[in-house]
Amino acid sequence: MSTQPTVLITGASSGIGATYAERFAQRGHDLVLVARDEQRLQSLAARLREQFAVTVDVLVADLNKAEALGTVEARLRDDASIGVLINNAGLGQSGGFLAQNAESLERLIGVNITAVTRLAAAIAPRLAEAGNGAIVNIGSVVGLAPELGMTVYGATKAFVQFLSQGLALELGPKGVYVQAVLPAATRTEIWARSGLDINTLPEVMEVEDLVDAALVGYDRREPITIPPLAHGERWAALDGARQMLMGDLRQAEVASRYRA
Ligand SMILES: NC(=O)c1ccc[n+]([C@@H]2O[C@H](COP(=O)([O-])OP(=O)(O)OC[C@H]3O[C@@H](n4cnc5c(N)ncnc54)[C@H](OP(=O)(O)O)[C@@H]3O)[C@@H](O)[C@H]2O)c1
């Protein structure tokens, strides 16, 4: 039993989520691991218990199934030991917009948007009430780049970024830290699962490097962490330009360039 908050990690059976699990266990946190693949979760849990002497619970859930999502929400609402949510589970997009169908859109949006939002909503009131805790949402640099051709996936990640920025503004003053992590291409199974060959990419980050960098941002309490971004001032400039644009909006007046 750890004195630190328990960390609930979605998508903990592989890739970024499994690496977060390893790192938080190393830091001495108890864990709740969520994903669909029970065997992989159990074997990771057994290894982490053995190696780091922490308590690790496994919660098997398909976040696209209402009942399973409800179970994870209830755990986040009711288990006062959980102080950190790593909202990581996500799917990639297979093919362009014209290759999508209703089911593939529903699956993508269900995990990348609906589950992320509902899980944050399940834990946020309790953390705000306690005046501490953290919500980490895994976005993507694809959410900044419609040019990359992963339109719906990018849109889900733009949503995650906006959600995180809004939550940081709402919950930050109540003592809750909210971080969005925006990885670029990282060596995990998401590529093969989306039918893409990772070996065709010019550059790929190793997953341990990605998570370690994300945790540097976490420890610094950064609202947005972009591990592959060398020039942090470029993000500041982009955000500054956005805020200036907001200042330029005139609610009551049509801009002169639109007057007939
Ligand atoms: N790798 C990259 O290049 C990259 C770049 C930017 C952002 N990201 C983001 O990073 C996050 C983690 O992805 P990853 O790269 O680590 O890929 P990954 O290895 O494929 O991991 C995805 C995780 O999500 C879980 N998952 C998928 N569908 C689920 C569902 N319906 N219900 C519950 N869990 C589900 C998977 O577990 P089960 O199959 O066991 O359910 C798995 O643990 C995602 O949000 C992804 O969009 C990745």
Q: For the segment 42-93, what is each residue's pLDDT rounded down to a tens digit? A: 999 999 999 999 999 999 999 999 999 999 999 999 999 999 999 999 999 9
- The pLDDT score that the predictor gives to residue 102 is 97
Q: Which residues contact ligand 1 via a Cβ below 6 A?
A: 11-17, 35-37, 61-64, 88-91, 111, 138, 140, 183, 185-186, 188-190, 193
State how far the alpha carbon of 97 is from the alpha carbons of 67, 149, 206, in Å: 29, 8, 28
CB 75 within 8 A of CB 69: no
- The pLDDT score that the predictor gives to residue 250 is 82
Q: In angstroms, rounded to a whole number, what is the distance separating the alpha carbons of residues 22 and 154? A: 28
Instruction: Delimit the domains of the chain by residue range.
Output: 6-231
CB 85 within 8 A of CB 73: no
Cα 33 to ligand 1 centre (Å):
13
Architecture of domain 6-231: 3-Layer(aba) Sandwich (3.40)
Q: In angstroms, rounded to a whole number, what is the distance separating the alpha carbons of residues 8 and 136? A: 10
Q: What does the angle CA 234 – CA 239 – CA 242 come to, to the nearest 5 degrees?
A: 130
Cα 232 to ligand 1 centre (Å):
26
Token digits of residue 41:
């979760």
Q: Convert the pLDDT of each residue in 103-122 to its tens digit.
A: 999 999 999 999 999 999 99
Residue with the smallest CA separation from ligand 1 atom 44 is 90
Looking at residues 132-155, what average pLDDT do you find? Answer: 97
Cα 252 to ligand 1 centre (Å):
44
- The pLDDT score that the predictor gives to residue 2 is 60
Q: What is the mean pLDDT of the chain?
A: 96
